[in-house]
């Protein structure tokens, strides 16, 4: 049984929203601040921990289970440690189109429980989870009672907010049974129109908050080309400061709440209403034609006809 002070935090978000980049940089920021962190990649793409790989890709839990003929492999084969000190697990998944990746997540939790991996003295465990909680396997961090705190990564695009609303429905379903709470929303900016306004309005509507806005910055791609996080590659950059601030705010956990997800119709209404209002406010006022001067027209120089 993991100690009570251990923070277990799940991150969800629509696929392609940049969630894994955010999670890896939060992990790196916590590690740099002296916390012992375990990052668990719960995605069939098994690339959550890529910035921490020292050389070759680590074996995933699914691959090891095949090698061990279904027997639980020893923790040393799947809990890996980067040179920076970050520890990580990649669950992995079946071949595309074959099997269920969610089952791999469920099996990973069985292995971790049996081997008492979480009793190793971690300060925080961060679960990087595929963005759809409809499947019970991907809801496992919540359903099994491991992660009590959830942060949702989104942008101002409608489908990203739609996915966030669905995730909030899953959180609400597990709120009473497993004491799961929403810690807040992380705006990973795409610089679309009215982005801050619409995400803030959505957060207010579901009873949550935007804990931080992460700007777009080419330094993220520069770090990815090095297979490192921004925090590790460019620790003095403004973007690294943002990730460090985000990590600090996550640890503060000042507002854990049961979200009140919107109906699909209410979500669409909110989105288009806020976007339309922002567009109207940004539209320049039409030019008003100058009024003609009042009074008698002046006679041209030299006088009139005589």
CATH number at residue 259: 3.40.50.300
Q: Is residue 176 part of a domain?
A: yes
Report helix angle 19-32 to 238-252, nearest 10: 80
Q: Is residue 192 part of a domain?
A: yes
The answer to whether 263 and 172 have CB atoms below 8 angstroms apart is: no
The question of whether 128 is a catalytic residue gets the answer no
Domain count, the chain: 1
| Cβ-proximal residues to 83 (8 Å cutoff; 6+ apart), any chain | 54
Q: Is residue 145 part of a domain?
A: yes
CA atoms of 92 and 78, how far apart (whole Å) = 11
- For residue 11, the Cα-to-chain-centroid distance in whole angstroms is 6
Beta strands in the chain (DSSP E): 7-13, 37-42, 80-81, 87-90, 124-129, 149-154, 181-188, 210-214
Residue position matching structure tokens 């491991």: 146
Q: What is the pLDDT along the chain (306 residues), one digit of tens a residue?
A: 455 689 999 999 998 899 999 999 999 999 999 999 999 998 777 889 999 998 788 899 888 988 988 789 999 999 999 999 999 999 886 665 555 666 778 888 888 889 999 999 999 999 998 776 556 666 778 877 788 899 999 999 999 999 999 999 989 988 888 889 999 999 999 999 999 999 999 999 999 999 999 999 999 999 999 999 999 999 999 999 999 999 999 998 778 999 999 999 999 999 999 999 998 988 877 767 777 666 555 555 555 554
Q: Is residue 290 part of a domain?
A: no
Active-site residue, from 47, 80, 123, 132: 132
Q: Residue 245: what are its φ and ψ, rounded to 5°?
A: -65, -40
Q: Is residue 301 part of a domain?
A: no
Q: Is residue 292 part of a domain?
A: no
Q: Which residues form the domain of 268? A: 7-282
The question of whether 14 is a catalytic residue gets the answer yes
DSSP 167: H
The answer to whether 128 and 43 have CB atoms below 8 angstroms apart is: yes
Picking from 107, 118, 121, the residue whose alpha carbon sits closest to that of residue 147 is 118
pTM, rounded to two decimals = 0.88
Q: Is residue 155 part of a domain?
A: yes
The question of whether 244 is a catalytic residue gets the answer no
CA atoms of 133 and 10, how far apart (whole Å) = 12
Enclosing H/E stretch for 87: strand 87-90
Cα-based torsion angle of the residue sequence 19, 103, 264, 205 in order, rounded to the nearest 10 degrees: -50
């Amino acid at each position: 049984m993991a100690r009570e002070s251990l923070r277990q935090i799940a991150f969800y978000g629509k696929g392609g929203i940049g969630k894994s980049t955010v999670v890896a940089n939060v992990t790196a920021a916590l590690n740099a601040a002296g916390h012992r962190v375990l990052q668990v990649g719960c995605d069939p793409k098994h690339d959550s921990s890529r910035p921490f790989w020292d050389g070759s890709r680590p074996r995933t839990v699914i691959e090891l289970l095949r090698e061990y003929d279904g027997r639980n492999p020893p923790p040393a084969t799947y809990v890996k440690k980067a040179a920076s000190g970050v520890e990580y697990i990649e669950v992995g998944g079946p071949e595309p189109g074959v099997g269920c990746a969610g089952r791999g997540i469920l099996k990973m939790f069985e292995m971790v429980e049996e081997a008492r991996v979480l009793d190793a003295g971690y300060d925080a465990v961060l679960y990087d989870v595929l963005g759809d909680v409809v499947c019970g396997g991907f809801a496992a961090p919540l359903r099994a009672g491991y992660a009590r705190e959830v942060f949702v990564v989104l942008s101002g695009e409608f489908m990203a907010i739609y996915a966030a609303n669905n995730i909030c429905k899953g959180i609400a379903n597990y709120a009473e049974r497993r004491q799961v709470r929403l810690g807040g929303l992380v705006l990973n900016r795409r610089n679309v129109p009215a982005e801050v306004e619409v995400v803030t309005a959505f957060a207010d509507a579901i009873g949550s908050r935007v804990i931080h806005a992460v700007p777009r910055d080419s330094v993220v791609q520069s770090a990815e080309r090095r297979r490192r996080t921004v925090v590790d590659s460019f620790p003095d950059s403004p973007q690294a400061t943002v990730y460090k601030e985000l990590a600090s705010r996550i640890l503060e956990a000042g507002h854990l709440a049961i979200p009140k997800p919107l109906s699909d119709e209410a979500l669409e209404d909110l989105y288009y209403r806020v976007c339309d209002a922002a567009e109207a406010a940004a539209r320049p006022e039409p030019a008003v034609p100058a009024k003609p001067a009042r009074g008698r027209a002046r006679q041209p120089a030299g006088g009139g006809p005589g």
